[in-house]
Structure 1
């Protein structure tokens, strides 16, 4: 079976969507089988992939969804997979598309009118034209079916996973290397998120200020992630903080630094207003790190009671949760153990197997 893929997301610096696609593709290739993967992409450096039945097909990145028609016809594909809701609109090939979240609908203030229009348009096209839809959580599946009821019969949940490297013990030399790199001499809280309005980082800074005001100990806050449309507002909020010298900006963190960065943190925080899944929370739990998340349906599904859940609009509640999470109590120990168990249930290998089965069912089903 010849499967085309939108491989624009194969990049060295990976966050949510890029991580999801890269990790699944690596496992699909390792699974072997009769499938051949044709990776449609533009220029740029290709991350290392395992040897196997795959090859790249050069494609124009402009007008992507419209420009692949001739390429698809020439490759005689059985299926085309897009890790997002944008996909070729013509070409006579069956489509599988992934919906990661519907934040454009549930937190519309985080997006411009044009962004909301584009996201709704592509999601509606996926709901109508894709032969199968993948969602990353049951919560996202319910959100999608609520907006587009006709999608329910063709939705499958295939969640992200946690790489084996996050479950290992980080040695003291590696931990010190990462501490030195990011300027972390002592205790610290960690947030890993793009600087986007829905990630709610200014509220986390407010919670940190309140916590530090009542704490005798110097603890830093490390904000790791790419800059984004909320950068100016976040930087202005940090500048107003009386503890601004202890709020550090790490920028993009390479994957190889993440296990040590998670493991060294006293608390990992992901207090978004909306998420489709939240891979970093699961990675932090795999590293045995206490986790604080927003009280959202997706985190009740993914983290269960292994994480402390808070109202993302209540910085005082966040501050109290930070203070409680730093105390060495039986409840904290229970959450850490449960977090590792929860993370072990999400593995990329299992998700890749489910995705391959979906490809096979879809390719063999009616047009």
Structure 2
């Protein structure tokens, strides 16, 4: 049996805080499937957060940022990591919390290189220092898993990681996105959120790279009658550098053409998305683009970007647009309203596309990486 030190910091933080982010969900999905393999035992470890009792007896470590600075400065291992090293054959940092842990071999999952390639899209506090430490830590890994060919190229370019050390293992769609929704549930959701018969939906934290500003401008390019009949519903909390987007939302909310729902609980998100005319997701940069696959599974047409990782994920199942071309986004929105044959084709293609990305395949490919590193 192989014993794997398995990073659960983001997962535990999310479970404690009442909501998982993409990294936390990834960790949960592959963890549950790898644990079912009788040849593997997972030993959880986490930084500055309690390990959930159901995960088993693990190793709790101190503050990640202090440990990283210490190891970069001295070349020594993280404080306390040796108690984990002694218990395992390999360490998998699933969530960007990559420790220095010699001599244990290490696999690190790195979702993207966006902090390095586009620092202007992120919060700016200590960004240069954070990026320097992140790059050094990323290069401690013996093997890197990433989620798209685009991210593989970007990680090599910006973090200096050899392409030969990077394996692409795509993400997948949670089974809940395939759940059928009956008419009673739809009626309840429409009443609760005051949803119209038709609407466009935008999903994601309000931040520069999600490009919600262009989505609003494209919606404004439609006729007033179309905008009133099919408003834009925005789901996502206010993030950073989003003052202009918030101003635009306030302006358009007065006429009822834009509504901001902020947070929608997971249990309600599926029926809200399924009711939408189309998901509008012209992101400027993604390591993968999971909202696209989730909409596919929900049988909702998608308008998304023809850049970064999104063409890999969408294939031929979405309307692809230049994310900085507002007119192109607006034209795609109009087609989703007027071309019923295209809409039906996209629903069919999207569902088939989503089914080709499974968490079981993701977990099995991850196990193959473990075996490769342990040879």
Shorter-chain TM-score above 0.5: yes
1:206 aligns to what?
Answer: 217
2:71 paired with 1:60: no
**Deviation of the 1:254 alpha carbon:** 2.7
2:29 paired with 1:23: yes
**Deviation of the 1:257 alpha carbon:** 2.2
Mean CA deviation greater in 115-124 or 287-296: 115-124
Q: 1:150-165 to 2 correspondence within 5 Å?
A: 150-165=161-176
SS state of the match for residue 243, structure 2? helix
2:35 paired with 1:38: no
Q: Is the 8 A contact 1:206 1:315 kept in 2?
A: yes
Mean CA deviation greater in 341-350 or 30-39: 30-39
Q: Choose the corresponding residue for 1:222, options 214, 224, 233.
A: 233
**Deviation of the 1:303 alpha carbon:** 0.5
**Deviation of the 1:152 alpha carbon:** 0.8
Q: 1:1-367 to 2 correspondence within 5 Å?
A: 1-10=2-11, 11-12=14-15, 13-43=19-49, 46=52, 54-61=56-63, 63=65, 65-66=67-68, 69-75=78-84, 76=86, 77-111=88-122, 116-118=127-129, 120-148=131-159, 150-213=161-224, 215=226, 218-241=229-252, 245-362=256-373, 364-365=374-375
Superimposed CA distance per residue, residues 183-215 of structure 1 (whole angstroms, 9 cap, x where no aligned partner): 314322111111111111111111112225362
SS state of the match for residue 299, structure 2? coil
- In 2, the alpha carbon distance for the partners of 1:78 and 1:199 equals 39
SS state of the match for residue 259, structure 2? strand
Superimposed CA distance per residue, residues 152-210 of structure 1 (whole angstroms, 9 cap, x where no aligned partner): 11101111101222123211122233323333143221111111111111111111122
Q: Is the 8 A contact 2:24 2:95 kept in 1?
A: no
Q: Is the 8 A contact 2:6 2:44 kept in 1?
A: yes
Q: Is the 8 A contact 1:107 1:273 kept in 2?
A: no
**Deviation of the 1:285 alpha carbon:** 0.5
- In 1, the alpha carbon distance for the partners of 2:95 and 2:126 equals 15
Q: Is the 8 A contact 2:61 2:81 kept in 1?
A: no
**Deviation of the 1:267 alpha carbon:** 0.5
Superimposed CA distance per residue, residues 30-73 of structure 1 (whole angstroms, 9 cap, x where no aligned partner): 34433223232434695x96xxx743433334536448834321
- In 2, the alpha carbon distance for the partners of 1:64 and 1:160 equals 30
| Ranges in structure 1 where 5+ consecutive residues have no aligned partner | none
Q: Is the 8 A contact 1:70 1:91 kept in 2?
A: no
Mean CA deviation greater in 102-111 or 301-310: 102-111
SS state of the match for residue 326, structure 1? helix
SS state of the match for residue 80, structure 1? strand
TM-score (ref. length: structure 2): 0.86
- In 2, the alpha carbon distance for the partners of 1:27 and 1:122 equals 32
How many pairs are equivalent? 360
Which of structure 1's runs of 4+ aligned residues deviate more than 6 A?
A: none
SS state of the match for residue 71, structure 1? coil
Superimposed CA distance per residue, residues 275-312 of structure 1 (whole angstroms, 9 cap, x where no aligned partner): 10010110101111000001114121110121111111
C-alpha distance 329-207 of structure 1, shift in aligned 2 (>3 A)? same
TM-score (ref. length: structure 1): 0.88
Superimposed CA distance per residue, residues 313-340 of structure 1 (whole angstroms, 9 cap, x where no aligned partner): 1222211110101224322222211111
| Ranges in structure 2 where 5+ consecutive residues have no aligned partner | 71-76
C-alpha distance 267-104 of structure 1, shift in aligned 2 (>3 A)? same
Superimposed CA distance per residue, residues 233-259 of structure 1 (whole angstroms, 9 cap, x where no aligned partner): 221122233765342222233322222
